[in-house]
Amino acid sequence: MHALPIANALERRRAFQSFLGVSPALIAIGLFLIVPILIVIGYSLMEANPYGGVNKVFSSDAYISLLFQRQLDDSLAFADSYLIIALRSIGIAGLTTVITLLIGFPVAVWLAMQPANRRGLLIFLITVPFWANLLIRTYAWILLLRNTGVINNSLMGLGVIDQPLQLLYTDGAVLLGLVYTYAPFVVLPIYATLEKMDIRLLEAAQDLYAGRLRTLRKVVLPIAKPGIIAGAILTFVPCLGAMIAPELLGGGTRMMLGNLIFRQFSDARNWPFGAALSLVLMAAVMLVLTFYALRAERQRIAKGGA
């Protein structure tokens, strides 16, 4: 009986130490990220200063101009140009996610089937480009895609085409760059779910006369499902706010949300509108992540109950 209060005191002391440990991180992120987001909310509700920054006067113009344009007579007319950029971003991010999944799944399955001593190196080779500078990796595609680039020069040298193909500054180029950037994000989580898969499951399926395609669909795919969902989110979320690929490979004319936001703080000098756009983007990201977290939580409970 006497041991209990002492244990409790000890427990409290350890909890306090833990709290001390995490406090610098919480202070840094609170002060330099969470407080700033609150300031962004404030900025989005203020008047734009034409020289950059904001005038500290309340205005809902930033949110109105997301969907409407103010006419000369001060009436509002529906304007879809920003809506189109937002939908484009969602479309490109969605398409990138689908393509990376189609590419990433077979690679992850193949990796998981490799002998354990080879896997480490093969996985490492997939992660190396991820750590290489994104700006430079995207720039490297310009060398391949432009009119006098490696692809056009080779095709013309082989006599396949007479005129260079317009590969750069197209939606296809932006898509290619994004898939290139995020494919490792899909391979790794799928691989992680398959890595510990019991090979005997595959033997069992094939002993029962399931073909390879059927084994893949009925055995491997269900096991990989959590990895597929994680990979899809890891691709879709950053793609929504992508800035470098549309800027370099899309030539700045094929804008996505990230570029539109950046413009508001550089040439356009409309900070409140940029702030409102940032909040819209953040809300979209949070929505996707919350959906994912709820789903994971539901599954945890379902498993715990069984």
Partner 1 sequence: MIGLFKRNTLGVQDFPGFGGFSFLFYLYLYAPIVVLVAFSFNANQSATVWTGFSLDWYRAAFANQALRQAAGNSLLIAVCASMVATAIATLAALGTSRGAKFKGLQLTMGAIMLPLVLPEIVVGVATLALFSTIGLSLGYGNLIIAHTVFCIPFAFLPIRARLNDMDLSLEQASADLYAGPWRTFRKVTLPLLMPGIFSGLMLAFIVSLDNFVISMMVSQAGTTTLPIFIFGLLRMGVTPDVNAVSTLILGVSVLFVTLSYLLGKKKS
The C-alpha atoms of residue 89 and residue 292 are separated, in whole angstroms, by 20
Pick out residues in 106-165 that bind partner 1 (CB under 8 A): 106-107, 109-111, 113, 118, 120, 122, 124-129, 131-137, 139-144, 146, 148-150, 153
Figure out which of the listed residues 228, 232, 244, 249 binds partner 1, where binding follows CB under 8 A: 244
Identify whether the C-beta of residue 263 lies closer than 8 Å to the C-beta of residue 270. no
Candidate segments 58-66, 76-84, 223-231, 271-279, binder of partner 1 by CB under 8 A: 271-279
List 227, 231, 246, 274, residue binding partner 1 (CB under 8 A) = 274
CB of 103 to partner 1, least distance (A): 6
Does 199 bind partner 1 (CB under 8 A)? Our answer is yes
Is residue 48 a contact residue for partner 1 (CB under 8 A)?
no
Q: Decide if residue 192 touches partner 1 (CB under 8 A).
A: no
Residue recorded with tokens 């413009």 = 263
Is 99 a binding residue for partner 1 by CB under 8 A? The answer is no
Backbone angles phi, psi at 40, to 5 degrees: -60, -40
| Number of continuous H segments (helices) and E segments (strands) in the chain | 14, 4
- Largest interatomic CA distance in the chain: 91
Shortest reach from residue 281's CB to partner 1, in Å: 6
Report how far apart, in Å, the C-alpha atoms of 101 and of each of 26, 177, 241 are.
35, 15, 19
Residue 29 is a binding residue for partner 1 (CB under 8 A): yes
Q: Which of 45, 206, 219, 268 binds partner 1 (CB under 8 A)?
A: 206
d(C-alpha 134, C-alpha 59), whole Å:
37
CB 104 within 8 A of CB 93: no
Is position 203 an interface residue for partner 1 (rule: CB under 8 A)? yes
Residue 297 binds to partner 1 (criterion: CB under 8 A): no
Instruction: Quote the tokens at residue 126.
Output: 């997939």
